[in-house]
Amino acid sequence: MPELPEVEIVKQSLKRAINHKKIRKVIVKNRNLRFKLPVNFEKTLQDKVISNVSRLSKYIIIEFKSGLFCIFHLGMSGTVHIIKKKIDKITNLSFYQYKQVPTRHNHIKFIFSNFKIIYNDPRRFGFFKLFKSLDELNIYFKKIGPEPFSKKFNFFYLYNKIKNKKKNIKNILLDQNIVAGLGNIYVNEILFYCKVDPKKKGSEISKKEIKKIIRYSNIVLKIAIKSGGSSIRDFKNANGDNGSFQKKFKIYGKKGYACPRNNCKGKIIKFFQTNRSSYMCQICQK
DNA sequence: CCGTTAACCTGAGAGC
DNA sequence: TGCTCTCAGGTTAACG
């Protein structure tokens, strides 16, 4: 489900809620995520104080005062929920309040003093990992490519990465070791803006097109973050709010529609590239 | 090294 | 209603 903009949105809302707070207790209902949760997971995190929350690629990184790191990935269907504890003034009873609490697949609960965080993930492709130090963390992320917004993601970098590639540009851009954080929706959208055929080989992409890919990666992702991400099926930020970037999709999920480009008479077609759906206008994407 | 495929899971929606 | 089939925002182990 989540690509860079959605993960960024989750990170922002999560950071506001948990930064500088102490985890009082961790309760695990199901350890069988993408990777089995470490046996010491609950104990390691109990009573730890959070000193920062950040994002790298599609990962959220929680840093603790003690120097420990906990990272997690949402996979395809992971969601994070902040649930505030309210106290009824008449009965003095406390209860948790959330716009819509999921009933199933709540695998992990992080209990704080006046709220709790729930990790929900129906398909269980998400996962958590612990690292004892920054060095360990850096080793884990060593292969990940540059963030699309970073100066490292520039013309020379991308040109050298793709100039000899036989792989199609769509799959190149989905490769997290080339550039971090792009996923199926945003790669489809970016290539439409660039007027580039997703089937084109890396070696066939012109220098002009490389520059466009970099520029539109930045533009599309920035607008998506500003829109709160894309909520197609069930994406919500940690406060339960939907994003709105899905309303701005040009081609994703728009099979059979007319090309949204002015003066283009093309139709949007759908096809598969390595088992993942691709959309394009056959006339203006070359 | 490179590129391709299958596998990991559940649920929603389409078609019958 | 209900069955069966396809598809979904991601990653990675295993193979040639």
Quote the percentage of chain A above a pLDDT of 70: 99
A168 nearest nucleotide via C1' and CA: B3
Query: Which residues in window 155-214 of A are less than 7 A from strand C by Cβ?
Result: 174, 176, 183-185
Q: What angle do CA A8, A173, A271 make, to 5 degrees?
A: 105
A174 nearest nucleotide via C1' and CA: C10
Render pLDDT for A159-206 as a digit per residue (tens, 0 to 9).
999 999 999 999 999 999 999 999 999 999 999 999 999 999 999 999
Q: Where are the domains of chain A?
A: 4-140, 155-281
Task: For residue A236, indicate whether it is catalytic.
Answer: no
Task: For residue A2, indicate whether it is catalytic.
Answer: yes
Q: How many angstroms is C1' of B12 away from CA of A1? A: 14
Q: What is the pTM of this model?
A: 0.96
Q: How far is CA A21 from the centre of its chain?
A: 24
Could you say which of A2, A5, A148, A198 is catalytic? A2
Strand B positions within 7 A of protein Cβ atoms = 2-12
CATH architecture classification, A155-281: Orthogonal Bundle (1.10)
- Rounded to whole angstroms, how far apart are CA atoms A268 and A21? 48
- Rounded to whole angstroms, how far apart are CA atoms A118 and A86? 16
Comparing CA positions, the residue from A128, A139, A28, A7 lying closest to residue A71 is A128
Could you say which of A24, A86, A207, A276 is catalytic? A276
Asked whether the beta carbons of A60 and A11 are under 8 A apart, the reply is yes
Q: How many angstroms is C1' of C16 away from CA of A17? A: 49
Comparing CA positions, the residue from A71, A56, A54 lying closest to residue A148 is A56
Fold that domain A4-140 belongs to in CATH = N-terminal domain of MutM-like DNA repair proteins (3.20.190)
Render pLDDT for A22-58 as a digit per residue (tens, 0 to 9).
999 999 999 999 999 999 999 999 999 999 999 999 9
A1 nearest nucleotide via C1' and CA: C9
Identify the H or E element spanning A273.
Answer: strand A268-273
Residues near strand B (C-beta below 7 A) are A 32, 34, 76-77, 104-105, 122-125, 165-167, 171, 202, 233, 274-275
Strand C positions within 7 A of protein Cβ atoms = 7-12
Comparing CA positions, the residue from A85, A81, A90 lying closest to residue A108 is A81
Render pLDDT for A117-168 as a digit per residue (tens, 0 to 9).
999 999 999 999 999 999 999 999 999 999 999 999 999 999 999 999 999 9
Confidence (pLDDT) at A98 = 67
- Rounded to whole angstroms, how far apart are CA atoms A55 and A10? 9
**CATH topology agreement for domains A4-140 and A155-281:** no
